[in-house]
Amino acid sequence: MHRLKRLAVIGAIVAAALPALPAHAAVTPVQANGQLKVCGLRLCNAQGKQIQLRGMSSHGIQWYSQCLNTASLDALAGDWQADVLRISMYIQEDGYETNPRLFTDRVHNLIEQATARGMYAIVDWHMLTPGDPMYNLSRAKTFFTEIAQRHNGKNNVLYEIANEPNGVSWPTVKSYAEQLIPVVRQHDPDAPILVGTRAWSSLGVSDGASETEVVNNPVNAANIMYTFHFYAASHGTSYLNALSRAADKLPMFVTEFGTQTSSGDGGNDFTRSQQYIDLMAQKKISWVNWNYSDDERSGAVFTQGTCPGGPFAGTSRLKPAGVWIRDRIRTPDDF
């Protein structure tokens, strides 16, 4: 046999004996997709292909930054094969307002960490209490100006400008978005911006309303998506159906969900969760699960005491919700 042909045969035999590597091992999500954009009702990659991102949200970085270290982020990108990390920076609750410099720098660092691993990064302005985003408008302008100035050369950053507006009307949330979006766009014209919806980002469902208030009065801006949050043990058919209807009329992104109750604790409803997962796959709705920490609640994926030492890869330190969500993040992407 010719020497080159013999080497080729040997190479083929060796390759056949090796386990197939996941797509993420060779090409990272950002390498595969590049700069994302909203095209019609979907999130699309640089080639115009509709895609779905799947990943994890941090817990509040004022409490659980020790769960976001080199080993844990390596595991999230490599073992979990996550496409996206949501960086959850609370504004109140001992967060940003207590030390803007510290928390802005912490977000800068985590964006760099996600970037180094080829993941997308959602910068989550985690306003929760008070629920009126206008309360933090000037803080948000300061923060997002610096973030957009620093990272506008990257193609992997998404801006979530209001986590869970509550106790206010949709026109108030819309007005906030229309004041803040130009601040981001001035420095980063291309990144998708994620807009929170009324009643804890439930499209108003938690206040007895529906997605029609957004459909009939959308934010006046391009390249934006609207967020929806659900906790499967609390949020049943009415929430699921609202998300399904909304996704046929609005660009939707589920930036937070859990398999348990809306407290992030309690028993897991994996049956209902799977219904949401199936819907989001069908309609190419990107999603991020809450949360990548070792908090005592059932929604934190790691058992208490896992952080900072780990191990973070595999399932030995995962709670039931962690095992379940890791498996679904690891399902091969369609890109």
Residue 240's alpha-carbon distances to 84, 108, 160, 209, 325, in angstroms, are 23, 35, 22, 14, 18
Residue 183's alpha-carbon distances to 103, 146, 232, 334, in angstroms, are 19, 10, 35, 33
Q: Within 10 A of 313 (CB to CB), how many other CB atoms are there?
A: 16
Q: What's the longest Cα–Cα distance across the chain?
A: 77
Residue 43 CA to residue 212 CA, distance in Å, equals 21
Task: Report the pLDDT value the prediction gives residue 240, as an integer from 0 to 100.
Answer: 96
Task: Report the pLDDT value the prediction gives residue 81, as an integer from 0 to 100.
Answer: 98
Q: Compute the C-alpha angle 82/85/88, nearest 5°.
A: 150
- The amino acid at residue 102 is L
164 is catalytic: yes
Q: What does pTM read for this prediction?
A: 0.92
112 is catalytic: no
Task: Report the pLDDT value the prediction gives residue 263, as an integer from 0 to 100.
Answer: 81
Query: Higher model confidence: residue 49 or residue 2?
Result: 49
- Residue 277 is encoded by which pair of tokens? 């997962």
* Mean pLDDT lowest among 111-115, 201-205, 232-236: 232-236
R_g (Cα) of the chain, nearest Å: 20
Mean pLDDT of the chain: 93
- Residue 301 is encoded by which pair of tokens? 């994926």
148 contacts 133 by C-beta, under 8 angstroms: no
Task: Report the pLDDT value the prediction gives residue 234, as an integer from 0 to 100.
Answer: 87
* Active-site residue, selected from the candidate residues 112, 160, 164, 178: 164
Task: Report the pLDDT averaged over residues 267-285.
Answer: 97
41 contacts 132 by C-beta, under 8 angstroms: no
170 contacts 213 by C-beta, under 8 angstroms: yes
* Active-site residue, selected from the candidate residues 97, 213, 256, 296: 256
Task: Report the pLDDT value the prediction gives residue 261, as an integer from 0 to 100.
Answer: 83
24 contacts 77 by C-beta, under 8 angstroms: yes
DSSP SS3 for 183: helix
Task: Report the pLDDT value the prediction gives residue 31, as an integer from 0 to 100.
Answer: 98
